[in-house]
Structure 1
Amino acid sequence: MVEEYPLNEQGDPNFNVGGVKRDLPPELQLEQLASYIEATYEDGPNYLALLPDRITHAAMLMLGSAVDHAMPATKWSGEVVVEKHELGVVFKPSNPTGAWAVSVWDGPDNAKEMLWRPDVAAAAELSGTTILDVDRAEDAQRAVDQLPGPVTAWVLGDTPAPTADDYVFTFPTTNREGFVQVPAGSGLEGTEYYAKGFISTPAEIRRRVQDVAEYLRR
């Protein structure tokens, strides 16, 4: 496997800007992407907020121009209406089905705006579900209680989940009930995605958001 798909690493005399002309399997695309990002960017207070742009840049550099590097928000959220709410932000799709969801992540505010909410907006548009993303995790239950009809809670990581009618969990570290998205090889039950922390290829991020949208659309 290694000889068939050698890593395209910076500093290697055979490094190719824009990737190499081959079809890497998803797990090796992630390895290429993660190796570049980890070698290039240091951790810091803005790391997660800047990660989507860095993923796009790294994918163009490492995986080649023939691959679709569009992130979910770029591809699908153009017609979403964004409205302020006392508890956060509401993402209204262009063709709402009447379904509601509450999304919640207790991450940094800047990362919430740049990393998390763009995916929420894309899922809203794809599913027809109106999604209230709360500013503070502790307000998630209040948000669920305010909304009409059955409400799905979409929870990122190990953020405490409100009591809701249904659940989506993205990258928890323990087994959960509902639609659960887990990193490949985690040993947890759920739909697997190639991810290293918050790093995934744009294609895997799109697949993950599409799967959430499909579940919300049921």
Structure 2
Amino acid sequence: MVDEYPLNEQGDPNFNVGGVKRDLPPELQLEQLVSYIEATYDDGPNYLAMLPDRITHAAMLMLGSAVDHAMPATKWAGDVVVDKHELGAVLRPSEPTGKWAVSVWDGPANAKEMAWRPDVAAVAELSGTTILDVDNVEDAQRAVDQLSGDVTAWILQDAPVPYAADYVFTFPTTQSKQGLVQTSHGSGLEGTEYYAKGLISTPAEIRRRIKEVADYLR
């Protein structure tokens, strides 16, 4: 497979800006993205906040124009209204169903605003679920308790888990038997697998992951 789909790497004399005209398997698309991002960007305080834009840029360079590079927020979240809340932000879809969820990620504030909440907004719009995203993970249980009805908690990575009626776990490092579990390919955990390295995935895989969260919340 490697010979059939050689990496389109910067520095290689055969490097092709804009990718090459071929349909790479998902795992090799991820390999192309990771290769570019790790070679181009250093870790730093703004790394996670800038990651969505960098993924889009890397995908355009490495995967080519034949691939849809739209991120979930660009594609789906345009009509979401964001209201301030004492515990964080409430993301209201254009056609709310009355269902509520609480989203929890123990990430830096700038990354919450620029990387995490746009994905939460896309899920809200696709599912019709109003989502309270907490600023501080310590407030997750308080957020669930404030809301009416059966509240689903959506947990990214290893944020603390509040008691809730149902769960979505995205990229956990320990196994959960409850709710929707989204895992990285090769993690060894049971759940729906996605090609990802940390929070890096192709735009197509990110859209698939976000859409499946929305489908679960409907």
TM-score range, shorter chain: over 0.9
1:72 equivalent in alignment to 2:72? yes
In 2, Cα distance between the equivalents of 1:150 and 1:141? 13
| Helix, strand or coil at the partner of 1:182 | strand
Match of 1:2 in 2: 2
In 2, Cα distance between the equivalents of 1:70 and 1:3? 29
User: Which amino acid is the alignment partner of residue 206 of structure 1?
Assistant: R
1:40 equivalent in alignment to 2:40? yes
User: Which amino acid is the alignment partner of residue 153 of structure 1?
Assistant: A
Match of 1:205 in 2: 206
1:100-130 Cα offsets, whole Å, 9 max, x none, are 0000111100111111100000000000000
| Helix, strand or coil at the partner of 2:215 | helix
Unaligned residue ranges in structure 1 (runs of 5+): none
1:79 Cα deviation from its structure 2 partner: 0.4
Summarize the alignment of residues 1-218 of structure 1 with structure 2, pairs less than 5 Å apart: 1-176=1-176, 177-217=178-218
| Helix, strand or coil at the partner of 1:21 | coil
In 1, Cα distance between the equivalents of 2:138 and 2:208? 29
1:144 Cα deviation from its structure 2 partner: 0.3
1:53-109 Cα offsets, whole Å, 9 max, x none, are 000000000000111000000000000011000100000001111100000111100
Give me the TM-score of the superposition, normalised by structure 2: 0.99
1:153 Cα deviation from its structure 2 partner: 0.1
Percentage identity across aligned positions? 83
| Helix, strand or coil at the partner of 2:82 | strand
Give me the TM-score of the superposition, normalised by structure 1: 0.99
Q: What do you get for the CA RMSD once the two structures are aligned? A: 0.4
Unaligned residue ranges in structure 2 (runs of 5+): none
In 1, Cα distance between the equivalents of 2:157 and 2:21? 35
1:142 Cα deviation from its structure 2 partner: 0.4
In 1, Cα distance between the equivalents of 2:31 and 2:56? 15
In 2, Cα distance between the equivalents of 1:107 and 1:84? 19
1:138 Cα deviation from its structure 2 partner: 0.4
| Helix, strand or coil at the partner of 2:132 | strand
In 2, Cα distance between the equivalents of 1:79 and 1:46? 27
User: Which amino acid is the alignment partner of residue 12 of structure 1?
Assistant: D
User: Which amino acid is the alignment partner of residue 175 of structure 2?
Assistant: N
